[in-house]
Copies of this chain bind each other. A is one copy, B any other.
Amino acid sequence: MADSTRGPFARALLQQCLHAKLQIQRGLIIYVCFFKGASEEIIPKMVNTLVNVKLSETESGEYVSVLDLPGSILVIPQATLGGKLKGRRMQYHSNIEKEIGMELYSQFVTQCRRELTANTKFAESGVALKYGTYGNRQVLKVDTNGSFSHMIDF
Contacts and interface: CB of A to CB of B under 8 A. Distances in A.
A73 to B, nearest CB: 16
A49 interface: yes
A146 B139 contact: yes
Interface secondary structure of A, over-half rule = mixed
Kindly report how many copies of this chain are found in the complex they form together.
Answer: 2
A151 B88 contact: no
Contact of A139 (B54, B89, B144): B144
Contacts of A52: 88
A80 interface: yes
Interface of A: 1, 4, 11, 13, 31, 49, 52-55, 63, 65, 76, 78, 80-81, 83, 85, 88-90, 137-152
